[in-house]
A = this chain, B = another copy of it.
Amino acid sequence: MKVSKEIMKESIPFPSVERLTKLFSLLQSVKKEGKEKISSAELGTLTGFHAHSIRKDISMTEALEGGKDGYVLEDLKNVISATFDFKKKKRVCVVGLDMFGAAMLSNPDAGSSEFEIAAGFDSNTNRMEIISTNVPLFHVYKIEEKVRELGIEYAILAVNPENAVKSAERLIAGGVKGILNFSPIIIAPRNGVQIRNIYLVEELRLLSATLRSMSRSAQQQCCDT
């Protein structure tokens, strides 16, 4: 159970990883507005996180001296990017090309990010012929082969519930490292493959459940002065 000091230093707690990832996305938009510096308090207002947490998160990445008016936006972006290797291009595929999947295929945001949508898969050949896209499309039987061949690391799973598990298995067999599962089935993590389950109805339920449970409804609602 013991881990050496050096390795420990690398290990950033998951909640911090989450916040830093969000900050990174946020910084992209703020940058467009021409801002050059930004303080932890401002970041707090924009995200709803405590400024304290933000500072601590940032201090976990790399030495980065914040000047008088806060962090240099560009530096901060670079540090987060370096910590998680956000600059490296990564290939993604979309499995299941009904309306939702097709929308993912042509998602303009992905194109301007480090993620390149490199393939689409579906079990319905007729449907694939109708879709107009530059992304190469294949039958789901070819998932394992093409994922390996094209070096695809991540997958967006948007198939119906019956096929979700089988598709996930094919993706894992092909060697993907992470799956974003939008189908209404929870896929349990396995073999070190990261899986995030995002199911529309469940997200709505979570909203309503959170409102109901008074618990930490104050959760992310305040920020530093």
* Residues of chain A whose beta carbon lies under 8 Å from any beta carbon of chain B: 7, 10-14, 17-18, 20-22, 24-26, 29, 45-48, 83-86, 90, 92, 98-100, 102-104, 106-107, 109-110, 113, 115, 153-154, 156, 161, 177-180, 184-186, 188-190, 192, 194, 196-217, 219-221
Chain B residues, CB < 8 A from A29: 161, 184-185
Identical copies in the complex:
2
Q: Choose from B106, B201, B217 the contact partner of A192 (Cβ within 8 Å).
A: B217
Q: Choose from B186, B208, B210 the contact partner of A90 (Cβ within 8 Å).
A: B208
Q: Choose from B20, B115, B185 the contact partner of A204 (Cβ within 8 Å).
A: B115
Chain B residues, CB < 8 A from A196: 203, 206-207
CB <8 Å contact, B99 and A102? yes
> What is the bound-complex CA distance between A177 and B184, given in angstroms?
24
Chain B residues, CB < 8 A from A48: 186, 188-189
CB <8 Å contact, B46 and A188? yes
CB <8 Å contact, A202 and B25? yes
Given contacts A85-B212, A207-B180, A209-B21, contact A220 B189 (CB under 8 A): yes
CB <8 Å contact, B184 and A25? yes
> What is the bound-complex CA distance between A95 and B199, given in angstroms?
18
